[in-house]
Amino acid sequence: MNAPANKFAAYICSGCGLGDVLNVAGLEKVAKTEGKMAVIKTHPFLCNAEGVKMIQDDIANDGVTHLCIAACSRRAKTEAFSFPTVAVTRANLREGVTWIVAEGADHDEVRQEMAEDYVRMACAEIKKMAVPGGNVKESSSKKILVVGGGMSGMTAAQAAADAGYAVALVEKTGALGGFANQMWKRMPFKAPHADAQPTGAAELAAQVSANPKIKVYLNSTVAETAGAPGRFAIKIAQESGSISEELCGAIVQASGFSTYDIAKLPELGGGQPNVTDQAGLEALAKAANGGPIKRADGKEIKSAVFVQCAGQRDDSGTHLPYCSGHCCGTSIKQAMYFKDQNPDIDTIVIYDDLRVPGMGEDFYRSAQTKGVIFTKGKASKVTGGDSCNVTFKDLILNEENTVPADLVVLATGQVPNAGVELDDWTATSTAASSGDEAAKQKKSELQKISVLNLNYRQGPDMPQLKYGFADSHFICFPYETRRTGIYAAGPMRRPMDMHQATEDAVGASLKAIQATENASLGRAAHPRAWDLSFPKARLEGCTQCKRCTVECPFGAIDEDEKGFPVFNEERCRRCGTCMGACPVRVISFENYSCDSIGMQVKAVNVPEEDEEKPRILILACENDAYPALDMAGLQRQTYSAYVRIIPVRCLGSVNTIWITDALGSGFDGVMMMGCQKGENYQCHFVKGSEMAYYRLSKIGDTLKGMGLEPERMQTQEVAITDNVRVAKLINDYVEQLDAMGPSPMKGFG
């Protein structure tokens, strides 16, 4: 039986003032004569129940398969205009036209031209779209794998189990609890925030062990992780030598941290008797069990000096460049161990900046009340022996001082247990494959520190951002990593204290649950969590250049034995970076492709030179730039009616053919608006914006070859809050192009 023919329909809204300033009949004519829409209807309030029912009836009774809705932004009324059985596109007439073009009769013509172009563009786009078929695998699992049995891991496991999900918890040691097992007490996390509190690790471990939904693997490590969200095939190596297998839907990595090696700080007494780090003092306090804390040689401690930022916040490149966050509060807590045991014990905390956010200020005041001395200073030398001496510069009095102490405690900070650094892995693997024996040995050593042992082309662990922490943006999308369905939690993601780590674990657990549910429905992961599409390649045109494989930020593409791309659809975030990377344009999505964007570019009516109406194409990232443009409209920020804006999934998806086609057809300029790149990136697809900037840095020669100035193409980093700035960027660019004069390509398109 033949499939029913496609039927295209355009629905134009005249509400929200659209009908007051636009010639709706003119828009209908464009949709009919140029857009070739079979059905064209106008409604005064398209998003109300009556308007939506009109569309639903046409789908059900009239065989409409493709919808072009000309109304408000595609970011507005998403629930009202949700028609999952048909292909849908939107023409942004409200935020993108009527709200941004200055009022007045002298603007009516350019406003109408702008609206008509957006209708043309939407009609052209829908012709190249199909309804995504989805990608549901029968093997989909909703079990959550948690790697690491410390406070973060136990909390994540318990949170998932409480939500009704089965959990496999892997811990490399013989007991749950992690670093918390070495602690006597923790910083206060509830009122009155005046005294240290029990860690609660033993109680949580007992709760997790007794939970029927949680299977605990002790003395175990992850030997291999293969597959993708919904079907991660996990091999768990146990100390006995046996291998267990689990099929999991998502993974939470909570592999914790190690303390910075005190031996790297000889100038501060590291390695000398009676100089310890905070972890060492916790062990002494735990051994004392509330009694007098004694040194390793058995001597009771009557004076203690705490040196903050020991090997941290170091700008010399020798030690840790970052602040570990918890250390100030930990020193306050440990100083109070002594004061609670005996108020006559001298305790001094030497700090540069005392960082105790939130209710930590109450804890600090409590320590002051108990007699803990806080001195703003910078320690330069610690000598060991039966009585240590700490030399420091008093930063308030601006003088050198030395204080004696029975024990010196260095706040050395956290080093993440995040696994293998992938750049190092790639270089080592390449050298090893060429027969380098030293590289083979190094590769073997790297494999020993791998946490997940991912069976991925891109390497065995998650990418790291900097300082060894997992690449997970703490503002835009915490817990997310560049390995879809794998979430980072706790101090391996960023430095944090126990309270922050347990909160972090709950968040990561919920994201893991979301990933399993999306995978079970064949949908994308964050941020396009509704998207049922996934990339497909027309292999007969593929040149096997491997650019898609290399540039995919999420390790979603492998190669078969012939070198053709193989897509792991559940790993894919639908960013389209592979599509932008492909030089022969053989990669596409059902609802997003080189053709669906390219045809929009070609649909724009480009005036002749003598009409003095320039045309500027803006390719705007849908995650930050397009929302900023919508907000500009909402706030009635006016910008030039000569621009035509096309939202793209990510700048990484931009194929250079769109730019050359636009400029070749007479557009006067092309502006790219994307997210911030670099170490402080805000790109929702992590590397997409960076990839786009890299590719487009090479387009200048192409433009010169076309006889065009390179300045006719520019890129701008835009934040979601830049609603005022985007209007200025557009207007400034239009002025710049006006000064350059019309494109010499006009009339040749």
| Residue from 416, 517, 502, 570 nearest 157 by CA | 502
- The DSSP-derived string for 169-235 is EE-SSSSTTGGGGG-S-B---STT--S-B---HHHHHHHHHH-TTEEEE-SEEEEEEES-TT-EEEE
CB-based contact 113:217 (threshold 8 Å): no
For the chain, how many residues are written? 749
DSSP secondary structure, 225-274, as one string: EES-TT-EEEEEEETTS-EEEEEESEEEE---EEE--GGG-GGGTTTSTT
Please, are residues 140 and 249 in contact by the beta-carbon 8 Å criterion? yes
Residue-level pLDDT at 1: 46
Q: What is the pLDDT of residue 226?
A: 95
Residue-wise pLDDT tens digits, 472-517: 765 667 888 999 999 999 999 999 999 999 999 999 999 999 999 9
Q: Residue 687's pLDDT is what?
A: 83
Domains and CATH numbers, the chain: 1-131 (3.40.50.960), 144-256+462-520 (3.50.50.60), 261-413 (3.50.50.60), 536-577 (3.30.70.20), 606-749 (3.40.50)
Sheet hosting strand 66-71, strand order edge to edge:
39-43, 8-13, 66-71, 87-92
Q: How many helices (H) and strands (E) does the chain have?
A: 20, 29
Q: Structure tokens of 586?
A: 């053989």
Which pLDDT tens digit goes with each residue over 194-228? Answer: 999 999 999 999 999 999 999 999 999 999 999 99
Specify the pLDDT at position 706. Answer: 87
382: Cβ contacts below 8 Å, ≥ 6 apart = 267, 268, 269, 272, 275, 307, 388, 389, 390, 391, 408
Q: 167 or 482: whose pLDDT is higher?
A: 167
Rounded Cα distance, 444 and 453, in Å? 12
Distance CA 669, CA 640 (A): 13
Over the stretch 427-473, which tens digit does the pLDDT of each residue have?
Answer: 999 999 889 999 999 999 999 999 999 999 899 999 998 899 998 76
Q: Which long-range contacts (CB under 8 A, 24 or more apart) does 235-239 make?
A: 236/168, 236/170
Sorting pLDDT into bands at 50, 70 and 90, what band is 104? Answer: confident
Strand order in the sheet with 616-621: 643-648, 616-621, 669-674, 713-717
Structure token pair of residue 166? 């089965």
Q: How far apart are CA 620 and CA 599, in angstroms?
A: 16
Output the pLDDT for position 714: 92
* C-alpha 628, offset from chain centre: 19
The string of pLDDT tens digits covering residues 569-598 is 899 999 999 999 999 999 999 999 999 999
Distance between CA atoms of 663 and 712, rounded to whole angstroms? 8
Q: Is the pLDDT of residue 254 over 50?
A: yes
- Strand 557-559 with 565-567, pairing: antiparallel
Q: Is 67 helix (H, G, I), strand (E, B) or coil?
A: strand
Query: Does residue 747 have a pLDDT over 70?
Result: no
Give the residue with greater pLDDT, 260 vs 457.
260
**For the chain, what is the radius of gyration of the CA atoms?**
31
Q: Kindly report, residue by residue over 27-80, the tens digit of the pLDDT.
A: 999 999 999 999 999 999 999 999 999 999 999 999 999 999 999 999 999 999
Cis peptide before 463 (omega within 30 of 0): no
Q: What one-letter code names the amino acid at 691?
A: M
Q: How many CB atoms lie within 10 A of CB 666?
A: 21
Q: Given phi > 0 = left and psi -120 to 50 = alpha, else beta, which region is 92?
A: beta
pLDDT at 2: 57
pLDDT at res. 475: 65
Q: Is 361 helix (H, G, I), strand (E, B) or coil?
A: helix
Retrieve residue 595's tokens: 């053709």
pTM (predicted TM-score): 0.91
Cis peptide before 535 (omega within 30 of 0): no
| pLDDT tens-digit map of 298-308 | 999 999 999 99
Tell me the per-residue pLDDT of 610-635, one tens digit each, with 9 for 90 and over: 888 999 999 999 999 999 999 999 99
Q: What integer is the mean pLDDT of 76-91?
A: 96
Residue 389 has pLDDT above 70, yes or no: yes
231, two tokens: 């079907």
* Mean pLDDT, rounded, of the chain: 93
